[in-house]
Structure 1
């Protein structure tokens, strides 16, 4: 049995783990990074980048559908070569993964351990059956894995998770997508626009990241006009048949429908990878979901020398947050017990559907009733949005009564990824509605829609 003694042991070589390792090394500490799976981040392998590659192809195909409205006539038809689409997705995906692997290759061999780590106690880890690591502090950065509801298991080998889509060599004829959240909407709409017959099934009337009832309703209607979307579906059975899957869907009026698909795609969320870490052997306090309780400003688990970062802590599963959390955890592990609060940025989330969805700062559900006003704008009559025939959308910005401070926003609309950044910067700098209205707005741009919503909020604040 090999023995290794380090100041900081990092479990997981994804975005958060690599950031933690680099922070510890930069602080002059002896560190090791342990990985039991393939190197390469969730973002590069199965998340942000391959999904955007699929979406880019879908957007190119969908653009021709608006040509007639612009007076551009398409002679003949557009043919989607599914094999070519997926070949580019895989090729470019592998290129992005290669960049990550190059960074891992630059880590000294003696700082890398291959295998699955399990805590023996607060200061030691067993890595498979070959190494014991004794450490001063540890950072858990083990990421997450797709969660699959038991009801979908009847699909057998025709059930895949969203991660698996990017390994397809051809586009299927049809797919049932379960989970109209961030991932499900992106992949489901992209497949639909690439010619796949898609139906989407959810529960609880949730759609995307929205908590504002008006935004939920608008998004449900908008996507439901493009493909069948059931946000509170009752699927009573799923079975593997022939070359695909058959499911039974029940409706409120007592009727049922039998539907067949080539594939069932589970985009039903992700679960933190913490079950097999031996956390019960440590003094950390575990929550009901098995995730250690931690301080999100320091990433420290209680008063121990164990920290947790990235998707493993089940807080904000986004790449930029994982990078921040990993850095904070690594720095604090290096300086322990002199732990310091790290910078947590204004929350921002974007769904790269069409129209795009975004949330910034506090969502509607996070705000105390009667403590804020809502500034609203519809993009349906917004000048630039109509010019480019992308005039679908609704934006709600929330401002604090009394102070007028910008608190949050939920929105659906054309390229709202850019509006989200403007608002995140404004909110993190403590801007009020009035101060934001003093900023420049060019004409004609979609950002003028934000100005309209801010003016609406200002009027409501004056009357509050």
Structure 2
């Protein structure tokens, strides 16, 4: 293998201050796991980090967003229970809402801080790392030679060119929105992916006047048009959405000393529109933090989107180099559990502990959007299946609009599609918008991971009355369309 330190043989000529077996750049989920595993075997391991020594998930991602959603759901239930004969109006204390988000975030972060504080000080370097033309790591006043390098530098919000300067303090991102000390009166959210949808709905439920803009007529990246249309239908009942809009300009304007933001855009009909309000939340995705690191000096090639080429999706290793790029930094699947696995694996691989380098079989693609109703995608997407001429497939379907328990709970809006392979009787993938989607998604992901057939899934119990009975209806539909015999049962029990 080619090693980072192979690029230099004369340590003195490059003023090397330290030589280590493993250097880890980045202390998020992937980096911390890699450090822990490598440190079990190697004593001369160093971890370098700039900024907070915690994780994207805890600091600016899944945990604070779910804390905000939890408050929003309480308010929504209070304000929308009249159909049950329960009449109430929620009184929302915006300062308390945002304070709890930060307090609980700090609680979660304290466990990470305690762990990081337990690491020896000489193995932690606080600063920005850069890899020079000799393959050496420059950080602060040190020049470090490492036999193997793990890059776990995470990701940052993507901001369109010029927007930060034009919007100034009226611009928010997922990195800054949770620092608000009170709920604003109005907000535009640009981007209808997971981050944009979750935050737009949460702020709406908390009484903020929210307008959601998206370039395409699509939400949550849904690729099954039927599911996408159903998701838009379900969400439109409470969200103001302008999908298929083109933003031409953004900026700020002042009136009587008050500064507000504006967005000039064309709607889906081609009509010029203007939005004006307090903040613009830019939720146009995240990009990996790798461009300025200098990984090209290690022989790593990046594509036009800064994604590393020759990446092993099992270990994060780049070709036969002793370089591992893991977590959000490799732009593979930017999810915490994936970053955790990749960091764990890389931390073992660099120490030749290959027995523990693969801690689970390759999992199917699996994403959850925690809006209400939830959106889930598992396995192959419908376009991927349709593009494979060798696949014979059917689509099993169930609507949750009249599904028994969903209707009882007043959450009866949704649709599930399961893509079944006729040759193998296996699930290729699924897409869903609906109640309890996170749990149905886990069941389907488990089935794909463990190669379970449709009959095996139908042989498992489905308790009545539960929302999960809707899954059984969709599985039966798959089975019917495959023409596979089974003992027929009355599917009306799913509804009544």
Q: Identify whether the pair has TM-score above 0.5, normalized to the shorter chain.
A: yes
Q: 1:378 to 1:156 in 2, by over 3 A?
A: same
TM-score (norm 1): 0.95
Q: Deviation at 1:31? A: 1.1
Tell me if structure 1 keeps the 8 A contact 2:243–2:267. Answer: no
The one of 72, 76, 86 aligned to 1:72: 86
Aligned residue in 2 for 1:286: 302
Report 1:359-374 matches (<5 A): 359-369=377-387, 371-374=392-395
Q: Deviation at 1:298? A: 2.3
Query: What is the DSSP-based 3-state SS (H/G/I as helix, E as strand, rest coil) of the residue aligned with 1:163?
Result: coil
Q: Deviation at 1:463? A: 7.8
Q: Deviation at 1:121? A: 5.4
Report 1:382-397 matches (<5 A): 382-397=403-418
TM-score (norm 2): 0.89
Q: Deviation at 1:414? A: 0.9
* Cα distance in 1 for residues equivalent to 2:90 and 2:354: 63
The one of 386, 403, 409 aligned to 2:430: 409
Tell me if structure 1 keeps the 8 A contact 2:218–2:228. Answer: yes
The count of corresponding residues between Structure 1 and Structure 2 is 461
* RMSD of aligned alpha carbons: 2.0
Q: Deviation at 1:246? A: 2.1
Q: Deviation at 1:341? A: 5.7
Query: What is the DSSP-based 3-state SS (H/G/I as helix, E as strand, rest coil) of the residue aligned with 2:138?
Result: strand
Aligned residue in 1 for 2:370: 352
Q: Deviation at 1:337? A: 9.9
The one of 338, 351, 358 aligned to 1:334: 351
Aligned residue in 2 for 1:315: 332
Q: 1:292 to 1:169 in 2, by over 3 A?
A: same
Q: Deviation at 1:30? A: 2.6
The one of 132, 140, 150 aligned to 2:151: 140
Report 1:53-452 matches (<5 A): 53-74=67-88, 77-120=89-132, 124-128=136-140, 130-150=141-161, 152-153=163-164, 154-242=166-254, 243-293=259-309, 294-335=311-352, 343=360, 344-369=362-387, 371-452=392-473
Q: Deviation at 1:206? A: 2.6
Query: What is the DSSP-based 3-state SS (H/G/I as helix, E as strand, rest coil) of the residue aligned with 2:350?
Result: helix
Query: What is the DSSP-based 3-state SS (H/G/I as helix, E as strand, rest coil) of the residue aligned with 1:145?
Result: strand
Query: What is the DSSP-based 3-state SS (H/G/I as helix, E as strand, rest coil) of the residue aligned with 1:334?
Result: coil
Deviation digits for residues 154-195 of structure 1 (CA, Å, limit 9, x no counterpart):
323211112211000010000000011000011110000000
Tell me if structure 1 keeps the 8 A contact 2:244–2:267. Answer: no
* Cα distance in 1 for residues equivalent to 2:474 and 2:30: 36
Q: Deviation at 1:254? A: 4.8
Tell me if structure 1 keeps the 8 A contact 2:245–2:268. Answer: no
Deviation digits for residues 176-222 of structure 1 (CA, Å, limit 9, x no counterpart):
00011000011110000000000001112231142111111111222
Q: 1:71 to 1:426 in 2, by over 3 A?
A: same
* Cα distance in 2 for residues equivalent to 1:438 and 1:327: 36
